[in-house]
């Protein structure tokens, strides 16, 4: 077969731009494929509609009769939109989503058929769960697990299939998914934040966590993608010399979006909007062929579901344009990787953003309360936050001088820093007397949004009216960071309320009590605040002095998720039990090991079957050439002129030798690791013994890429993959 790279290049060069035109006015088709509140209102009786709303807002149970009515309405609505099937749509511990479609059609005795979908099918299903990871929670011989309807996330139609968002639980009650603990964490933060809000006013009945994600991704022509086994199997290029030009001119960031990509984006947005995903922002990112899309924020559970759906649509729609989407956190070495910033805040049932400064002193004291408690929650739990975003791929990005480092710190900007410093010193807070109006808290500008400094290097930054958790990986579900963040904030808010209430009981005036506890928290959490360049070595040194954890190894980071501290916290809040946490840890560790195992195999195979034979072919041509020169030239001329070729021949041999030796050693280390019984030991062996060979082998392969005749090189090069036209 001819060189696959050239075939792929030829195909990619012959692409014609495919145009896409969405119907006019997005508001006209927004949410048309979702069983939205509006549709429910239309289809359900008043009474049933109210019951569903109660379930959504207060988590109340939906009775059988109502469930049946909802199911019948869903069926009528979905079939009117052409749906033929239904499925429970859930988030198993694989990290992606799962579905098993059943047709609505049901045959009758008289030989005819009808569409059937009742309350029973809506509320609960029992998919064969034996092949999903459970981390030992469920033995395969009793593979029973069930999915149960989550009315708080709207059902939707995808591929003519009605998809009902559900939780996925073992019959023993343990969660086998990411939605169950997320819903529990959201409920915990609701309770805790409502309790704290009640210190200020009785109006607050409910507090919702809000999430606005920003999804970064790369696009590569699908023909070139298919000619790179590493991209296909691991999502990243394990080899590839840097392109002479890549991101050094910063000419891609916010640049004009090329026509092929913009058409892709338009179709992607059209499909997203129809599914009720409120996509809003799109732009070119820093690295060539890197892009970003962000929606308007939503309640966290819905937003998490929407991100999962969005990732699916990305992949799907890209294929219509002969593009492959890379969601991997670091698909191209030495270029910026991709993150998924999680913008997060808390919002009351009255629509008040608790992280937005208010107009009155009372409102500002409440703002300060939530700001400082969030900082304190992060301070106390940097290890857990780090642990829940760890993966083999994200850890290639964290700390790689383009993404927040593995040290979790908080950025709040100059003005707020000054204010917290004043509070710490006790300035202006001494004469509270009674009532908030008499308390002199430092003045907070009403709108911080426009004057909060931007610090792109911080893993957890306050941006005027929300925090932005920037260390989250692009391929991950938002549920993991959202479970841990909402849980730690809930825990902190509870501690805060306990302390304030105790002070009030002991006779301290309420606002004074609040200020005193805030001051304590400001002092205790000071070390996590960092305003400088988080990418710098000075910060690494400074953080070490401050005693902040810098967990760069994935295995260490993952360990924190099942630590004694983690168990205590999650059990106390009722979010995850010890058994569940340990099972999840084991699944993550196994996934880490398997991913490295796959990468190691791909590296070994490509080096041995693609790179070395190519290098030898080229070397043979050089040898022929040298032999020829020797024949036609006199000895003296020959020894001066053939020097370069001979030198190249030697260099090629050296690189081949290094690759061979390192691949062999890597395989030996892998064998040793594979034989280890203990999973943690195995994980550490993969991290400490196998992983270091990846870069060593790559170095020599990339050197060969520069030496070997371009005509022979089998893998599409960076410069060919990175500049879509
Ligand atoms: P930038 O890239 O400057 O950080 P973007 O506009 O790309 O900003 O993204 C900001 C994200 O923050 C959007 O998804 C937006 O909806 C979200 N956001 C804004 N306010 C809130 C809030 N109160 N809670 C959660 N997310 C929010
Ligand atoms: Mg952002």
Q: What is the CATH number of the domain that holds 278?
A: 3.30.590.10
Gap from CA of 174 to ligand 1 centroid (Å): 34
Residues lining ligand 1, judged by CB closer than 6 Å?
210-212, 214, 281, 294-297, 343-345, 353, 465-466, 468
CATH number at residue 661: 1.20.120.1560
Which atom of ligand 1 lies closest to the CA of 345? 24
In a domain, 585, yes or no: no
Tell me: do 435 and 564 sit in the same domain: yes
Protein residue closest via CA to atom 2 of ligand 1: 214
Distance from Cα 9 to the centre of ligand 1, integer Å: 38
Residue to probe by mutation, ligand 1, list 193, 294, 354, most atoms within 8 Å of CB: 294
Considering every ligand atom, which ligand is closest to the CA of 292? 1
C-beta of residue 50 within 8 angstroms of C-beta of residue 149: no
Residue 148's closest CA among 125, 171, 182? 125
Co-location of 458 and 517 in the same domain: yes
**What spacing in Å lies between the alpha carbon of 571 and ligand 1's midpoint?**
31
- Point out the domain boundary residue: 517, 543, 576: 576
Q: Which ligand is nearest to the CA of 283?
A: 1
Rounded Cα–Cα distance for residues 565 and 573 (Å): 13
Residues with CB under 5 A from ligand 2 (ion): 341
What's the pLDDT score for residue 95?
84
Give kind and range of the element (H or E) at residue 661: helix 643-674
Q: Which of 349, 369, 348 is nearest to 357 (CA)?
A: 369
Distance CA 328, CA 234 (A): 9
**Residue at 14 is within a domain:** no
Pairing of strands 98-99, 85-90: antiparallel
CB atoms within 10 A of CB 254: 12
Q: Which ligand is nearest to the CA of 353?
A: 1
Candidate from 186, 193, 214, 450 with most ligand 1 atoms within 8 A of CB, to mutate: 214
The CA 214 to ligand 2 mean position distance, Å, reads 7
Nearest Cα neighbor of 304 from 558, 89, 50 is 89
Domain boundary among 549, 576, 603: 576
Nearest ligand to the CA of 281 is 1
Report the separation in Å between the CA atom of 185 and the middle of ligand 1, taken as the mean of its atom positions.
21
Nearest CA to ligand 1 atom 11: 212
Which pLDDT does position 133 carry in this prediction?
Answer: 81
* Residue 505 located in a structural domain: yes
Bridge partner residues of 156 (DSSP): 34, 163
Q: Give the number of C-alpha atoms closer than 13 A to the C-alpha of residue 152, restricted to the C-beta side.
A: 25
The last residue of a domain, from among 151, 177, 203: 177
- Residue 10 included in any domain: no
Q: Which residue, by CA, sits nearest to atom 5 of ligand 1?
A: 294
Task: Please choose, from the candidates 413, 406, 402, the residue with its C-alpha nearest in 3D space to the C-alpha of residue 285.
Answer: 402
The DSSP secondary-structure symbol of 104 reads S
Report the alpha-carbon distance of residue 449 to residue 417 in Å, rounded: 15
Q: How far is CA 107 from CA 115, 122, 291, 620, in A?
A: 9, 19, 49, 70
Q: Residue length, the chain? A: 725
Rounded distance from Cα 475 to ligand 1 centre (Å) = 19
Can you give the C-alpha Rg of the chain in angstroms? 29
**Ligand 1 atom with the shortest distance to the CA of 347:** 23
Query: Do 492 and 605 belong to one domain?
Result: no
467 CA distance to ligand 1 centroid (A)?
A: 9
Report pLDDT for 138.
Answer: 66
Q: For residue 395, what is the enclosing H or E element?
A: helix 394-397
Residue 445 lies in a domain: yes
Per the structure, the complete domain to which residue 644 belongs is given by 591-721
Q: What does each C-alpha distance from 84 to 70, 77, 104, 273 come to in angstroms?
A: 17, 11, 6, 22
Q: Is 667 exposed, middle or buried (0-12, 13-18, 19+ CB in 10 A)?
A: middle
3-state secondary structure of 50: helix
**Closest CA relative to residue 310, chosen from 214, 218, 397, 226:** 214
Let me know if residue 22 belongs to a domain: no
Residue 228 and residue 116 share a domain: no
pTM recorded for the entire structure: 0.95
In ligand 1, which atom is closest to the CA atom of 356? 23
Instruction: Please name which of 372, 342, 511, 516 lies closest in space to residue 444, comparing C-alpha atoms.
Output: 372
Question: What pLDDT was estimated at residue 109?
Answer: 93
**Based on the domain organization, do 213 and 169 belong to the same domain?**
no
- Judged by DSSP in three states, 146 sits in strand
Residue 173 is predicted with a pLDDT of 85
| 262: its two tokens | 């913009």
Q: How far does residue 59's CA lie from ligand 1's centre (Å)?
A: 27
- Ligand 2 centroid–CA 652 distance in Å is 45
484 and 335 in a common domain: yes
* Separation CA 410–CA 88 (nearest Å): 39
pLDDT at 431: 43
Strands 113-115 and 105-107: antiparallel
Kindly report the protein residue whose alpha carbon is nearest to atom 17 of ligand 1: 212
What is residue 432's predicted lDDT score, i.e. its pLDDT? 42
Under 8 Å between Cβ of 602 and 233: yes
| 510 and 199 Cβ atoms separated by less than 8 Å | yes
Atom in ligand 1 nearest the alpha carbon of residue 463: 4
Residue 435, pLDDT score: 45
Quick one: 209 and 163 in the same domain?
Answer: no
Residue 1 is assigned to a structural domain of this protein: no
Pair 411, 533 in one domain = yes
| Distance between Cα 448 and ligand 2 center (Å) | 16
Q: Which ligand is nearest to the Cα of residue 466, counting in written order?
A: 1
Best probe residue, ligand 1, of 209, 297, 458 (max atoms within 8 Å of C-beta): 297
Atom number, ligand 1, closest to the C-alpha of residue 283: 7
- Across 22-160, where does the E strand assignment appear? 85-90, 98-99, 102-103, 105-107, 113-115, 124-125, 145-149, 156-158
Residues 6+ away with beta carbon under 8 Å from 213: 294, 295, 303, 307, 340, 341, 342, 343, 478
Residues 339 and 388 in one domain: yes
* Same domain (yes/no): 566, 608: no
| Token duo for residue 530 | 């960092």
CA distance linking residue 675 with residue 72, whole number of Å: 54
Taking the centre of ligand 2 as the mean of its atom positions, its distance from the CA of residue 546, in whole angstroms, is 27
- Nearest atom in ligand 1 to the alpha carbon of residue 292 is 7
Residue 25 burial (C-beta neighbours within 10 Å; 0-12, 13-18, 19+)? exposed
In Å, how far are 271, 281, 285, 322 from 219, measured between CA atoms?
Answer: 18, 17, 11, 10
Residue 297 CA: which ligand 1 atom is closest? 16
Tokens encoding 467: 């925090």
CA angle in degrees (0–180, nearest 5) for 151-152-154: 75
Q: What residue ranges of the chain have pLDDT lower than 70?
A: 1, 138-143, 399-404, 427-453
Q: Which residues contact 291 (CB under 8 A, 6 or more apart)?
A: 216, 217, 218, 219, 257, 261, 265, 282, 283, 284, 285
Residues 173 and 300 grouped into a single domain: no
* Residue-level pLDDT at 170: 87
Q: 339: CA distance to ligand 2 center in Å?
A: 10
Same domain as 513, residue 410:
yes
Q: What is the largest CA-CA distance in the chain?
A: 105
Report the number of distinct structural domains present in the chain: 3
Question: Would 619 be classed as within a structural domain?
Answer: yes
Residue 129 is part of a domain; what is its CATH number?
Answer: 3.10.20.70
Please give the pLDDT value at position 130. Answer: 75
């Amino acid at each position: 077969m001819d060189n696959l790279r050239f075939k792929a290049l030829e195909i990619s060069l012959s692409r014609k731009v495919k145009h896409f035109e969405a119907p006019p006015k997005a508001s006209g088709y927004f949410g048309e494929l979702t069983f939205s509140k509006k549709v429910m209102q239309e289809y359900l009786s008043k009474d049933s509609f109210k019951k569903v709303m109660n379930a959504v807002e207060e988590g109340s149970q939906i009775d059988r009769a109502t469930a049946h009515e909802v199911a019948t309405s869903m069926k009528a609505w979905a079939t009117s939109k052409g749906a033929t099937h239904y499925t429970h749509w859930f988030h198993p511990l694989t990290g992606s989503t799962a579905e098993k479609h059943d047709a609505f059609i049901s045959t009758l005795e008289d030989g005819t058929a009808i569409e059937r979908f009742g309350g029973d099918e809506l509320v609960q299903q029992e998919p064969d769960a034996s092949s999903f990871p459970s981390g030992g929670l469920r033995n395969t011989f009793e593979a029973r697990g069930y999915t149960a309807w989550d009315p708080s996330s709207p059902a939707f139609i995808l591929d003519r299939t009605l998809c009902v968002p559900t939780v996925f639980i073992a019959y023993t009650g343990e969660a086998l998914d990411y939605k169950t603990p997320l819903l529990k964490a959201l409920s915990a933060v609701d309770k805790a934040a409502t309790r704290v809000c009640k210190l200020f006013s009785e109006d607050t009945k409910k507090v919702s966590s809000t999430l606005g994600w920003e999804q970064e991704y790369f696009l590569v022509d699908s023909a070139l993608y298919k000619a790179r086994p590493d991209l296909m199997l691991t999502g990243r290029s394990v080899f590839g010399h840097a392109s002479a030009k890549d991101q050094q001119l910063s000419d891609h960031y916010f640049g004009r979006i090329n026509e092929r990509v913009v058409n892709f984006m338009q179709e992607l947005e059209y499909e997203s909007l129809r599914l009720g995903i409120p996509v809003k922002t799109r732009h070119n990112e820093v690295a060539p062929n890197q892009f970003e899309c962000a929606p308007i924020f939503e309640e966290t559970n819905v937003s998490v579901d929407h991100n999962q759906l969005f990732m699916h649509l990305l992949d799907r729609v890209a294929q219509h344009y002969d593009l492959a989407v890379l969601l991997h956190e670091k698909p191209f070495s030495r270029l910026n990787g991709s993150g998924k910033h999680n913008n997060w805040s808390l919002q009351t049932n009255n629509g008040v953003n608790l992280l937005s400064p208010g107009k009155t002193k009372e409102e500002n004291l409440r703002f300060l309360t939530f700001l400082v408690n969030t900082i304190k929650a992060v301070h106390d739990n940097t290890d857990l936050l780090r642990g829940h975003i760890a993966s083999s791929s994200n850890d290639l990005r964290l700390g790689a001088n383009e993404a927040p480092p593995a040290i979790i710190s908080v950025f709040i900007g100059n003005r707020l820093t000054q204010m917290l410093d004043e509070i710490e010193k006790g300035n202006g807070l001494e004469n509270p007397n009674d009532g908030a109006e008499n308390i002199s808290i430092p003045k907070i500008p009403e709108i911080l949004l426009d004057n909060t400094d931007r610090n792109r290097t911080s893993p957890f930054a306050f941006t005027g009216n929300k925090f932005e958790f920037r260390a989250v990986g692009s391929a991950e579900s938002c549920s993991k960071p959202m479970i841990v963040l909402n849980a730690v904030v809930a825990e902190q808010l509870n501690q805060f309320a306990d302390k304030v209430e105790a002070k009030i009981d002991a006779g301290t005036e309420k606002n004074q009590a609040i200020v005193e506890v805030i001051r304590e928290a400001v002092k205790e959490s000071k070390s996590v605040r960092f305003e400088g360049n988080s990418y710098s070595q000075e910060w690494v040194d400074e953080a070490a002095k401050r005693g902040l954890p810098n967990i760069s190894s994935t295995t260490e980071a993952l360990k924190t998720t099942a630590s004694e501290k983690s168990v205590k916290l999650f059990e106390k809040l009722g979010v995850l039990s010890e058994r569940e946490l340990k099972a999840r840890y084991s699944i993550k560790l196994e996934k880490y090991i398997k991913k490295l195992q796959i990468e190691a195999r791909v590296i070994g195979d490509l080096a041995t079957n693609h790179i070395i034979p190519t290098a030898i072919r080229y070397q043979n041509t050089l040898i022929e050439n040298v032999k020829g020169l020797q024949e036609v030239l006199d000895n003296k001329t020959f020894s001066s002129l053939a020097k370069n070729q001979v030198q190249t021949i030697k260099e090629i041999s050296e690189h081949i030798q290094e690759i061979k030796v390192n691949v062999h050693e890597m395989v030996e280390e892998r064998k040793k690791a594979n034989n280890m019984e203990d999973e943690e030991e195995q994980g550490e062996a993969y991290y400490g013994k196998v992983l270091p060979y990846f870069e060593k082998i790559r170095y020599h392969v990339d050197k060969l890429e520069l030496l070997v005749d371009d005509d022979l090189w089998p893998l599409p090069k960076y410069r060919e993959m990175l500049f879509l036209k």
